Amino acid sequence: MKKLYVKAKSSKYPIYVGSKLLQKIQILYKHKLSGVKNVILISTNKVPKKYKTMVKKSFKKKNFITLDIKDGEKSKNIKNIILINNKLSKNNFSRDDLIISLGGGVIGDLSGFAASIFKRGIKFIQIPTTLLSQVDSSIGGKTGINNKYGKNLIGCFKQPELVICDINSLGTLPKRDLLAGYAELVKHALIGDAELFSFLQNNINKIFNDHDILQEAIYRSALVKAGIVMKDTHEKNIRAYLNLGHTYGHAIESFYKYDGRLLHGEAISIGIVMAFKTSLKLNLCSLEHLHVITDHFNKVGLLTDM
């Protein structure tokens, strides 16, 4: 297991990366459990029941309730935020109680935003179960929902109590979902860790089959994002680096109306290539740079063009 800290202005929290961590939640969070009476697990039917059971076992002495929300970008809406808040109120949750997000980026964004506004703030834990959410969306405190004009236009910054990245939870994901997360991992290597990109190139055929290699990649990717977030918690300057490929990527997703034809990470891999092509036209990168990243995405099986 590897551990790092995010030190934001208002909080400090750990990120754990390793295998079989779902069985250790009580140990990892023990120091903050004393005041918690009620726990809600927000997840989706795509998350295997066995993972939900593992989480529940860590809170067997608490009033533990669950709420499954349909997965997919279209679920990031105000109706689900109201649904979560009504569930909390109905079960007499207080500010000292706990929301646990178990799932991908959609569930994490919804849970975090609900946690930020219920009674002006309730504690929550991120347990990302997709590669994309482990390397990106679970880190940094961005929460939000969409409106008809675009993604994440309603939201705020709400840091979690901790983030638990259990590599074993990736074992049930389709290869396509793993690749979508890999696009964000590559993004972090490109903006903040050239050695990580070399590591990915050297292990491109083994990364999804070797837990040690995958753990190292996730950990180093998280280090890049955490480092940027700590310098710019509220996205005033350098945090914009994390948007590499996202201007084009979000435009592509919007064009397809988030209908599932493209996963977020697939839109981002295309967006990154488009960003490099734009940089080439502006003489901000070389043709070799464009070829290296395009070749890497092609080798691993990610989209580089619409």
| 58 compared with 290, residue with greater pLDDT | 290
98-103 and 123-128 beta bridge pairing:
parallel
Q: What are the pLDDT digits (tens) for 184-218?
A: 999 999 999 999 999 999 999 999 999 999 999 99
What is the tens place of the pLDDT at every residue in 214-233? 999 999 999 999 999 898 88
Residues 6+ apart with CB under 8 A from 268: 180, 183, 184, 187, 245, 246, 249
Q: What is the pLDDT of residues 10-40, one digit of tens each?
A: 788 999 999 999 988 878 877 676 788 999 9
Cβ atoms of 253 and 267 within 8 Å: the answer is yes
Residue of 77, 235, 289, 298 marked active site = 235
Is 239 a residue of the active site?
A: yes
250 catalytic? Reply is yes
Q: What is the pLDDT of residue 60?
A: 82
Is the pLDDT assigned to residue 111 strictly greater than 90?
yes
Would you say 267 and 250 are in contact if contact means Cβ atoms under 8 Å apart?
yes
Q: Is 184 tagged catalytic? A: yes
Query: Is the pLDDT reported for residue 91 higher than 80?
Result: yes
Q: Known catalytic residue: 235?
A: yes
Report residue 105's pLDDT band, with 50, 70 and 90 as the boundaries. Answer: very high
For strands 12-18 and 163-166, give the pairing. parallel
pLDDT at 27: 80
- CA contacts within 13 A on the Cβ side of 189: 20
The catalytically annotated residue of 46, 76, 142, 188 is 142
Q: Is 211 a catalytic residue?
A: no
Place 151 in a pLDDT band, splitting at 50, 70 and 90. confident
Q: Annotated catalytic residue: which of 24, 239, 277, 289?
A: 239
Phi and psi, residue 12, nearest 5°: -135, 130
The pLDDT of residue 31: 67
Q: Respond yes or no: is residue 73 known to be catalytic.
A: no
| Catalytic residue selected from 243, 277, 289, 298 | 243
Predicted pLDDT at 107:
96
Mean pLDDT of the chain: 92
Q: Which tens digits make up the pLDDT trace of 278-289?
A: 999 999 999 999
- Please tell me the distance from the alpha carbon of residue 154 to that of residue 239, in angstroms, as a whole number: 18
- Helices 264-281 and 246-255: crossing angle, nearest 10°? 130
Question: Rg for the chain (alpha carbons), in Å?
Answer: 19
Catalytic residue selected from 76, 158, 264, 296: 264
Q: Single out the catalytic residue among 46, 220, 246, 296.
A: 246
User: In the chain, what percentage of residues exceed pLDDT 90?
Assistant: 77
d(CA 66, CA 45) in angstroms, rounded, equals 11
Token reading at 36: 């918690």
Mean pLDDT of 32-59: 91
Assess whether 289 carries a catalytic annotation: no
8 pLDDT more than 80: no
Range 48-61 average pLDDT: 91
Q: Which of 225, 253, 266, 296 is catalytic?
A: 225
142 catalytic, yes or no? yes
Query: Catalytic residue at 264?
Result: yes
Q: Which of 79-93, 158-172, 247-261 has the lowest mean pLDDT?
A: 247-261
Q: Which residue has the higher pLDDT, 110 or 253?
A: 110
Question: How large a percentage of the chain has pLDDT more than 70?
Answer: 99
How far apart (Å, rounded) are the C-alpha atoms in residues 68 and 85?
A: 14
Report strand pairing: 145-147 vs 150-154: antiparallel
243 is catalytic: yes
Catalytic residue among 250, 253, 266, 296: 250
